[in-house]
A and B are shown apart, each in its own frame.
Chain A
């Protein structure tokens, strides 16, 4: 069932490519329908999965037998959470890019190609297949940014593409080495994640190969100090692009860290746990601190993503159930919230005012001109600060709880990050929407368009998702928890030693 998310999405790409060039409306509708279909399939498939703690195989067919590669799609609870996130992000991204006029069909074709790749990563249980989908996402995101972006778009796009590529090549080195070693131990070639998660790689080998693979993935997760692609990439990207980048692409990295690097090399994680946590917290604090002094609205959100992804990495580094639960939940939460923030800034504000400079926005009184945008940003900001009631709180809460036992000092430091987070969000709310600066006379010749229906839908959908998860985290926790709790799961090795639980 869930595999259809991938097929439907790529089918949508095909349909879009075949559409005549001038059919903009049709292109939008095809894209939206595809995304909705994907989203619905994701939801239904996720709900249908009876036991989220187990890996439910969807398809498993030999692909390249000589190297042990299978076409192996499957899902456990973590995949479910992220697949659902992807579905939501895809739909809302299209709603927020309804106004794309320039080469509409190509935009949506690249967009859906990216989404399809993302679904693929989250559902692949064959390392090579996962890697294939992972790299497949690089190209569409490059073109989305370079073609439809803004501010220094080509630079941002190239930087993002190269960082991703370098990261994935680090992963590739590690995977090849691991494949060779695993072949020696298993007696046959295998790229099956479940099988590899049982191979006991030599400790010395894990010691050097784990950081390689982990950092390779973590580059895309925005791990400090490899995060520098994130702000420039986010800023350069078109609205839907930044929504997807922050919403799901950064999750790809974190997911890879968890699903591949950590599962395959548990001893490696344990050796590098402290370093990862330090980098994560550095990211949290640094990202927040830099966000505090930005003049460009989107840079604020861009750096805030770095900061929030720090929590995901911190959660991963805890190696206890609750921290990992929190990390996965934070992936979901940040996906929703960052998407919303970028939607407001990119679509609602920038597309109308054509500026993201706080100095200009301050004189515009956007809170009064675009009340919906103002309120949405406030709600998103509150959610982003991690105030209770929204998904961010439950997630960061668990991450911090998990981190307390392992890294008490770093946890306190990350509290500082939260505080700066509050400060920059407030600053953005203030400067962006409710400034006290003397207003510039409103340009009546070019009034700002009112917020359109698709935008409202998108915003309400994302806010709703964040609220529902914030108030009833059990909905997702029921999927995530069994994955880590079951002694038979692929994560069991991670949690055996070292973790406090």
Chain B
């Protein structure tokens, strides 16, 4: 084994390091300089610092073009993972921007630094090819997310949601760990590429099958795929809105990236096949079933929701189904399509949660009826909502549509003889269904009138800027997807 060059580690982990330093600065500033100032001021300064840190880190990651592999895959840096980090950082920035107007807590420094800590965990998660590191980073990020969920101390639901999330998360960690240990037992390594070599040619022994299924279960919890999704609606509903946005965006991007990595790198040879009339056991058919269930159940359940946050949660489950489609297609094209989808989805989700948060603060609830007359009360806000929800529903020329097109066309190309078309047909059919519930929200905003005298809603400037920026990005990536695809 080579001698460890700590400077090299620090150089490669520079973005993470910068964010870590930022955490310290934010915390320090909040307890020292900003002590006794108004919450708004504390939020603004804290957010400014965090954002500066994130941008700095992102710029670094974006411009360095390094490829390195430390400690036998424990830390892998390449342009692809760097770009995902940039995306995660950008999502963090947006999350922070929309959280500046939040008033559920006075622990500003802690809240912001938890978001940043979560981000660090996610950044480590994407730059590893080792199961051990995957597990540690995942748990690190999750821990931050659990706390973020529980952060609204005035709301019992927040605590309940956090507990639920925590319990489910713990269970999924157990499953993951079990699966990983079996993998190690089979192959004698925790490195993904070595695992692939280790299991190659062994056929499908029951041990591998158990490892495979438990890993999938573990990640199923993380990405909230049916049937491991039960925590998601409650967590999304109970958590403070910016936290929910973060769970739904940054964490999703990282989880899917690493999920794809584990299965495409680590389970080479155990893919099986999910094509129609060409079923072979392996991980793709399992994914296919999970994806199908997620799409169907997520969309159908979303229809009957009256809380917009729950609706977004179920739609997140459904979208997880589409993304799994990208994973199980298992081609370079489908992987890049999946990442495009996941990133644009994350941007859109933050935007949607941002709008929900503003509406929630103004009207005291997130039920669909609270959105009535929004187009009159806050035209700009409702226009943003229109763009986000239509993008989620897959209406061109927004990013959501192009993402679906990429994803579905890649999936159809993947299976021999259009074999995955059945799953794509299901996905498209369900996406047609999804349009209905998004339209319900929009109907409230644009068609219905607010009950009684409804004053105009004042949208906090920073939040509004973030939302407009997000909306523009959603349009931009829809019209000129090349801007994003060139990095994936």
Let me know if chains A and B touch directly in the complex, using CB atoms closer than 8 Å: yes
Binding site for B on A (CB under 8 A): 63-67, 106, 128, 131-133, 135-136, 138-139, 142-143, 146-147, 154, 157-158, 161-162, 165-166, 169, 172-173, 176-177, 179-181, 183
Residues A128 and B405 in contact, CB atoms below 8 Å apart: yes
The segment from B194-202, B275-283, B393-401 that touches chain A is B393-401
CA distance A411 to B421 in the complex (A): 38
CB neighbours (8 Å) of A66 from chain B are 482, 485
Residues B482 and A65 in contact, CB atoms below 8 Å apart: yes
CB neighbours (8 Å) of A64 from chain B are 402, 481-482, 485
Residues A136 and B443 in contact, CB atoms below 8 Å apart: no
Residues A154 and B401 in contact, CB atoms below 8 Å apart: no
Given A64-B482, A143-B446, A165 and B402 touching (CB < 8 A)?
A: no
Which residue of chain A has the shortest Cβ distance to B413 in the bound complex? A180
Output the least CB separation between A7 and chain B (Å): 14
The segment from B49-57, B127-135, B426-434 that touches chain A is B426-434
**Which of the residues B386, B396, B412, B446 comes within 8 Å of A177, measured between beta carbons?**
B412
CB neighbours (8 Å) of B386 from chain A are 139
CA distance A179 to B431 in the complex (A): 20
Ordered by A's residue number, 8 sampled pairs between the chains whose C-beta atoms are within 8 Å are: A64-B402, A65-B482, A66-B482, A132-B401, A143-B446, A143-B447, A162-B432, A173-B421
Residues B482 and A139 in contact, CB atoms below 8 Å apart: no
CB neighbours (8 Å) of A135 from chain B are 395-396, 401
Given A154-B447, A169-B428, A180 and B409 touching (CB < 8 A)?
A: yes
Which residue of chain A has the shortest Cβ distance to B421 in the bound complex? A177
Residues A146 and B405 in contact, CB atoms below 8 Å apart: no
Which residue of chain B has the shortest Cβ distance to A65 in the bound complex? B482
CA distance A143 to B439 in the complex (A): 10
Decide yes or no whether B24 CB sits under 8 A from chain A: no
Residues B424 and A173 in contact, CB atoms below 8 Å apart: yes
CA distance A136 to B428 in the complex (A): 17
Q: Flag B442-469 by CB within 8 Å of A: 1 or 0 each.
A: 0100110000000000000000000000
A-B pairs, 7 with minimum CB distance: A132-B396, A146-B447, A169-B432, A180-B412, A165-B435, A180-B413, A169-B428
CB neighbours (8 Å) of A176 from chain B are 405, 408-409, 412, 424
Decide yes or no whether B390 CB sits under 8 A from chain A: yes
Decide yes or no whether B425 CB sits under 8 A from chain A: yes
**Which of the residues B397, B425, B443 comes within 8 Å of A154, measured between beta carbons?**
B443
CB neighbours (8 Å) of B429 from chain A are 169
Residues B402 and A177 in contact, CB atoms below 8 Å apart: no
CA distance A181 to B328 in the complex (A): 20
Beyond A136-B397, A180-B412, A181-B418, 20 additional contacts (C-beta under 8 Å) are A63-B480, A64-B482, A64-B485, A66-B485, A128-B405, A132-B401, A136-B395, A146-B446, A147-B446, A161-B435, A162-B432, A162-B436, A169-B429, A169-B431, A169-B432, A176-B412, A177-B418, A179-B412, A180-B413, A180-B418
Residues A173 and B425 in contact, CB atoms below 8 Å apart: yes
Given A143-B446, A161-B435, A136 and B396 touching (CB < 8 A)?
A: yes
CB neighbours (8 Å) of B482 from chain A are 64-66
Residues A67 and B405 in contact, CB atoms below 8 Å apart: yes
CA distance A133 to B397 in the complex (A): 8
Output the least CB separation between A497 and chain B (Å): 26
Output the least CB separation between A106 and chain B (Å): 8
Decide yes or no whether B406 CB sits under 8 A from chain A: yes
CB neighbours (8 Å) of A157 from chain B are 447
Residues B446 and A138 in contact, CB atoms below 8 Å apart: no
CB neighbours (8 Å) of B428 from chain A are 169, 172-173
**Which of the residues A63, A146, A161, A183 comes within 8 Å of B413, measured between beta carbons?**
A183
CA distance A143 to B408 in the complex (A): 29
How many chain B residues touch A (CB < 8 A): the figure is 32
CB neighbours (8 Å) of B418 from chain A are 177, 180-181
CA distance A138 to B432 in the complex (A): 13
Output the least CB separation between B405 and chain A (Å): 7
CB neighbours (8 Å) of A180 from chain B are 409, 412-413, 418
Output the least CB separation between A311 and chain B (Å): 29
CB neighbours (8 Å) of A136 from chain B are 395-397
CA distance A179 to B386 in the complex (A): 30
Residues A165 and B432 in contact, CB atoms below 8 Å apart: yes
CA distance A65 to B480 in the complex (A): 10
CB neighbours (8 Å) of B413 from chain A are 180, 183
Residues A131 and B396 in contact, CB atoms below 8 Å apart: yes
CA distance A136 to B386 in the complex (A): 13
**Which of the residues A142, A166, A172 comes within 8 Å of B439, measured between beta carbons?**
A142
CA distance A172 to B439 in the complex (A): 20
Given A135-B395, A143-B446, A161 and B412 touching (CB < 8 A)?
A: no
CA distance A143 to B446 in the complex (A): 7
Residues A161 and B421 in contact, CB atoms below 8 Å apart: no
Which residue of chain A has the shortest Cβ distance to B408 in the bound complex? A176
CB neighbours (8 Å) of A106 from chain B are 375
Which of A65, A66, A131 has the most chain B CB within a 10 Å cutoff?
A66
CB neighbours (8 Å) of A154 from chain B are 443, 447
CA distance A128 to B446 in the complex (A): 28
Given A169-B428, A169-B429, A180-B418, A67 and B409 touching (CB < 8 A)?
A: yes
CA distance A481 to B432 in the complex (A): 37
Given A169-B432, A177-B421, A67 and B406 touching (CB < 8 A)?
A: yes
Output the least CB separation between B414 and chain A (Å): 9
CA distance A161 to B438 in the complex (A): 12
CA distance A157 to B447 in the complex (A): 11
Output the least CB separation between B182 and chain A (Å): 37
CB neighbours (8 Å) of B397 from chain A are 132, 136
Output the least CB separation between B425 and chain A (Å): 5
CA distance A139 to B485 in the complex (A): 27
Output the least CB separation between A330 and chain B (Å): 29
CB neighbours (8 Å) of A63 from chain B are 480
Which residue of chain B has the shortest Cβ distance to A169 in the bound complex? B432
CB neighbours (8 Å) of B435 from chain A are 161-162, 165
Output the least CB separation between B433 and chain A (Å): 9
CA distance A177 to B395 in the complex (A): 19
CA distance A142 to B481 in the complex (A): 27
Residues B409 and A161 in contact, CB atoms below 8 Å apart: no
CB neighbours (8 Å) of A138 from chain B are 395
Residues A146 and B396 in contact, CB atoms below 8 Å apart: no
Residues B439 and A161 in contact, CB atoms below 8 Å apart: yes
Output the least CB separation between B348 and chain A (Å): 16
Q: Flag B300-315 by CB within 8 Å of A: 1 or 0 each.
A: 0000000000000000
Which residue of chain B has the shortest Cβ distance to A168 in the bound complex? B432
CA distance A143 to B443 in the complex (A): 8
Output the least CB separation between B469 and chain A (Å): 19
CA distance A72 to B141 in the complex (A): 46
CB neighbours (8 Å) of A139 from chain B are 386, 390, 395
Residues B432 and A166 in contact, CB atoms below 8 Å apart: yes
Output the least CB separation between A101 and chain B (Å): 15
CB neighbours (8 Å) of B395 from chain A are 135-136, 138-139
CB neighbours (8 Å) of B439 from chain A are 142, 158, 161
Output the least CB separation between B215 and chain A (Å): 30
Output the least CB separation between A183 and chain B (Å): 7
